[in-house]
Structure 1
Amino acid sequence: MTIAQLPSIAECRLWHVDLDAAAASQAHECLSGDESARAARFVFERDRRRYVAAHVALRETLSTVTGSTACDLAFDIGAFGKPSLAAPSALRFNLSHSAGAGLIAIDDSDSATEIGVDVEVLRPLSYSAALAAEYFTAAEQQGLAATAPPDRDLAFLTCWTRKEACAKALGLGLSIDTRSFEVGVNLEAQDVDMVVGGRTETLRVHSFRHGLALVCAFAKVIVETTSKMIPTNALIEREFA
């Protein structure tokens, strides 16, 4: 694998990881038991190798930022699977990977708040309308339908990655109804309100392209209020991969 730093967003540092580029590393020996067990469950060797490379890259990057060795890093896991450093720290991080691409975000600024990232490889999607009907708001579906066909796959993945990044920032994964908040289908940064646990969290979501093939999103919590009650949402039972 190779790790390349990208331009920062909102005081957060970003790195792209080429998961298919071979690189010698001892950090794979430091993966946790849970990480090693999950890697072992992959059916295809390529998927297992990419998963390991992504988590090794995260450890190596955190090691560089914190000054700790990769093997000394320990993580706590949230209720819906979001990891954080076990040692008390204001640092926030997040990892995403799609096919052979990984994306890492780290916020160790004085204004660090919860963050989330998501990346998808841009590709033809014959089923985007059906997925949009299930996971997008009415306005987002309309925006997607109004997009010219050559740009529709990009618009869909832009919306999808933005929703994922926001949900991951709050540590919710796919436990939240993605139709309960709007992120839009274009690349412009915008504020997003999400009602969780009886309070409204406001995030700023950013989208960007990396090269021609990657669609990326980054979200950061910026405001907390308690003005709204959380709606009853059905759990999403499957994940778009």
Structure 2
Amino acid sequence: MTIQQLPPSAHCRLWLVDLDATPAPQAVASLSESEWERARRFVFKRDRNRFIAAHAALRETLASQCGIPASMLEFQLGPFGKPVLVEGGLHFNLSHSQSLALIAVCDQAEVGVDLELLRPMPDAEALAETYFSACERRALAALPPEARERAFLCCWTRKEACLKATGMGLSVDTRSFEVGVLPEAREVHIGTGDDLVRLALSSFHDVQGAQCAVARLLAREAATAAPQRPLVEQEICV
């Protein structure tokens, strides 16, 4: 595997991983028995090798950031299945798409990251109907046809990064919050029952043919503390 550090985004440190490059033996040896058990479940060798490379890269990256040997790092799952370090301290997230993976690390706040290789998306319209807000669907439809697939993946990765940063995953309705279909930095608000989650969101693309997004938790507030100023359509659609 090859690990390349990228410029920081949303005050998070980022690394891009080539999952088809063979990892060093010591990196592979750092995986836990539970990670090996998960790897053995893959039917196809290529998928198994990419899983091993992604998790070896994650351990190597976290070890370099916290000073603990990669093989000594321990993980546990949060209430909605998001992995966290037992040792605490660093917040991290991992995403992968085919031969690439993206790792984000943040010292002070929860982080979520998503990566998708740019590719034809014949089912983009149907997926948008299911997962995007009405405003986002209108913004997507208003774009020239040749720009819609990139914009769809931009919005998709932004939704995923935000959900992963909250740690709540798909327990949150993806249509209930706006991230926009363009890659500008913005603050996103997500209502989660009695709480309002505020996130800093940014996107970047053309990283080895991938669309990427990273979200960092800013605050969890009581829903009654949410800003009362209504957002106009132009603010929440782009």
Q: TM-score, normalised by structure 1?
A: 0.89
| Cα distance per residue 1:148-172 (max 9 Å; x no partner) | 1111111010000001000000111
Q: Which residue of 2 aligns with 1:202?
A: 198
Post-superposition offset of 1:38 = 1.8
Distance change in 2, residues 1:204/1:134 (3 Å): same
| Cα distance per residue 1:106-145 (max 9 Å; x no partner) | 112xxx1111000000000100000000000001111111
Judge conservation of contact 2:10–2:200 (CA < 8 Å) in 1.
no
Alignment identity in percent?
A: 52
Gapped regions of structure 2 (runs ≥ 5): 226-238
Q: Which residue of 1 aligns with 2:236?
A: none
Q: Which residue of 2 aligns with 1:117?
A: 113
Q: Which residue of 1 aligns with 2:231?
A: none
**Helix, strand or coil at the partner of 1:26:** helix
The worse-fitting range, judged by mean Cα deviation, of 44-53 and 30-39 is: 30-39
Query: Does residue 17 of structure 2 align to residue 17 of structure 1?
Result: yes
Q: Which residue of 2 aligns with 1:213?
A: 209
Q: Which residue of 2 aligns with 1:60?
A: 60
**Helix, strand or coil at the partner of 2:182:** coil
Gapped regions of structure 1 (runs ≥ 5): 230-241
Post-superposition offset of 1:83 = 1.1
List structure 1 runs of 4+ shifted beyond 4 angstroms: none
Q: Which residue of 2 aligns with 1:143?
A: 139
Could you tell me which amino acid in structure 2 is paired with residue 17 of structure 1? V
Larger fraction in helix = 2
Distance change in 2, residues 1:33/1:157 (3 Å): same
Q: Which residue of 2 aligns with 1:49?
A: 49
**Helix, strand or coil at the partner of 1:166:** helix
Q: TM-score, normalised by structure 2?
A: 0.90
Give the Cα separation in 1 of the matches to 2:52 and 2:26. 12
Question: Where do residues 21-40 of structure 1 align in structure 2 (5 Å cutoff)?
Answer: 21-40=21-40
Q: Which residue of 2 aligns with 1:75?
A: 75
**Helix, strand or coil at the partner of 1:16:** strand
Could you tell me which amino acid in structure 1 is paired with residue 105 of structure 2? I
Give the Cα separation in 1 of the matches to 2:169 and 2:220. 19
**Helix, strand or coil at the partner of 1:203:** strand
**Helix, strand or coil at the partner of 2:215:** strand
Post-superposition offset of 1:3 = 0.1
Give the Cα separation in 1 of the matches to 2:189 and 2:134. 16
Distance change in 2, residues 1:3/1:79 (3 Å): same
Post-superposition offset of 1:228 = 4.8
Judge conservation of contact 2:116–2:153 (CA < 8 Å) in 1.
yes
CA RMSD of aligned residues (A): 1.5
150, 153, 160: which is aligned to 1:154? 150
Give the Cα separation in 1 of the matches to 2:33 and 2:169. 22
